[in-house]
Chain A
Amino acid sequence: MNKEHKDTKTKKFGMVIDLDLCTGCGACMVACMAENNVPFKEDESNKLDSITWMRVYKLTNGKSFPDTDICYIPRPCQHCGGIGDHGHSPCVSVCPATATDYDHETGIVSQIYTRCFGCRYCMAACPYHARYFNWWDPVWPGDMKESLSPNVSPRMRGVVEKCSFCFHRYQQAKDRAYANGRREIEENEYQTACTQACPAGAITFGDLNNPEHQVHKLVNPDPKHCGRPKNPKAFRLLERLQTNPKVYYISSREWVRRAGDNYIKNESKQIA
């Protein structure tokens, strides 16, 4: 670690998604694909082998009209901190070639495409299905190749990829701050593509360690319990597995909050 790194505060970048605001429009998915050069197939009907770093799930409360209720859950990589929030994410700890890594400076789980040899153990380890394998070589129709983002390297066939919290934007923001003689970046200087694209403003992004950032204010993460939200309306997916994700969801509806984890029938509602 060089001196510059020691001079900056440790970040814990995270995302808060307000499910009461999300309309399921899919703008976040489109923005993500365009920003990160995510490849696609001619026929995208089989969702089991198409790549969607950000995927929107549709949930219903299972009740018939007029009590039917619907909720959309956008699901990027959860950038888990793992048991004890020490950085041993489910995927990071299993990758045999250290091709996926936990950055303790930012809390972001990275994927090193040129080191991944495609064993897919990380995919087996991820309970969120947030990791995708390149079953085909990426093909960009027509002149589309010309419009690819120069800041993100396209991936080759046979490697795993996933959401990076638009890490290249963080690097660019830092570069700009350094050029201006600053060591820290402002909240609005580093925002993910999906956050900016959401027309309903359902996605908030920032540093969970920073009490001034919106994400911290929205969920009030409890550092004594690996960042579990103190806000009773906030929850994380599969909290009980102790994966300690950095993506939080907010909903005023109890059935939505309960849909974020597994419960044994008749289990105390207090757990939810």
Chain B
Amino acid sequence: MSDFSSPLALRIRGLAKAFDKPVIAGLDLDIAAGQLYALLGPNGAGKTTTLRMVAGLAKPDAGSIEIFGVDARRDPLGAKAITAWLPDEPMLYDKLSPLEYLAFVAGLWRMDPAHAAQEADRLLHWLDLWEQRDTRCEGFSRGMQQKVALAGALIHDPKLLILDEPLTGLDASMARSVKDALRSAVDAGKTVIVTTHILEVAERMADRIGIIGGGKLLAAGTLDELRDRAGTEGMTLEDTFIRLTTPDAVAA
């Protein structure tokens, strides 16, 4: 499954997590650096739980997580320093403006103030937030909030960017600008992992796709590789996804 010429951005081995019942059960996953990787799966498959464990927000019951070779369980601060996490609900403060929010995030990542201010200006211009830089986030639309949160995720120049359902609730224009931002991040050498229920997004944007179900990786590869495996040549990702996530396929 792992045929990468580039180093690994994320290496997961034997990851396990149970709440009332097992959610992740011995997950192995490799993601090469410099890719946009789409993690797909049915509802309750464990996508968000997996990514929260990678981001350090949930404690695994077992297994290992390495981010660019840094053991996230032994050196969580080292792993967090090179990672950004963007959940579906933006982590914002209503009473802060975008500029103040970015200043706070830069402080958490202990960036050099002059460099952080430059980066903030660049990101606010790039994400078309410059005019609203001093406006409190409390009245922003969902898309605007998502863009502020994205700026916060990018300001500390992470090597790995993890986004959980980044396009939920966005209109077409906002979704386009977020997708463009993600593509640009990958072009700039970053690794981006996204979960999404919008399979067309994964089909068009992702370099590689991983499908999890029943707490395990069911399949991973390029779209063509997944089609080969599912026997759905010439069909859409939706057909492939449904074929690979049927109860029989998961049980196998």
Determine if chain A interacts with chain B.
no
